[in-house]
Amino acid sequence: MAGGRNSKTMADIGNGVIITGLILQLLWFIFFIVVASAFHHRMKLVPTVASRQSEIRWQSYLYTLYLVSGLIIVRSLFRMIEFVEGSDGYLLSNEAFLYVFDTLPMFFMVWLHWKHPGEIGVLLRGEKAYQNGFKLITARSR
């Protein structure tokens, strides 16, 4: 799109590529959520021995995954509509939409600092989990 300043055709091609990419991103992300939901449902029906341990809060992490994924989907959908409307569209002409649908979902992803799924691997190895998500967990060298 940057090269399209001199040619409207190049700008339209660039915009089409971006819109197509956002549509594909949304479709694949929705597919990912469907697969994660199927995994969640099957694990509830037939839990593994490790998943029955009370300190391994795997369902809590899946709910966090659903929350963050929903925020990403909202943001991607907003971006797709924004590009379809163009630079003089309604969404870009009202700054509040940018804050609510673009910035706010990214801000709420800070939640992953407290609910980082890396803790599951630590617990499955039999190590003690950290109380907050801010402590850096490093891999062991071989």
Does residue 63 have a pLDDT over 70? Answer: yes
pLDDT at res. 31: 96
How do the residues of the chain divide into helix, strand and coil, expressed in percent and rounded to 5?
Answer: 75, 0, 25
> For the chain, what is the largest distance between any 2 Cα atoms, rounded to a whole number of angstroms?
63
Q: Is 82 exposed, middle or buried (0-12, 13-18, 19+ CB in 10 A)?
A: buried
In this model, does residue 32 exceed pLDDT 90? yes
* Predicted pLDDT at 4: 52
What is the per-residue pLDDT for 61?
84
Dihedral-angle region of residue 88 (phi above 0 means left; psi in -120 to 50 means alpha; beta otherwise): alpha
Structure confidence at residue 23 (pLDDT): 94
Tell me which of 83 and 126 has the higher pLDDT: 83
Average model confidence (pLDDT) across the chain: 80
- Main-chain dihedrals φ then ψ at residue 14, nearest 5 degrees: -60, -45
pTM assigned to the model: 0.71
Of 3-17, 25-39, 73-87, the poorest mean pLDDT is in 3-17
The residues spanned by each domain of the chain are 2-109
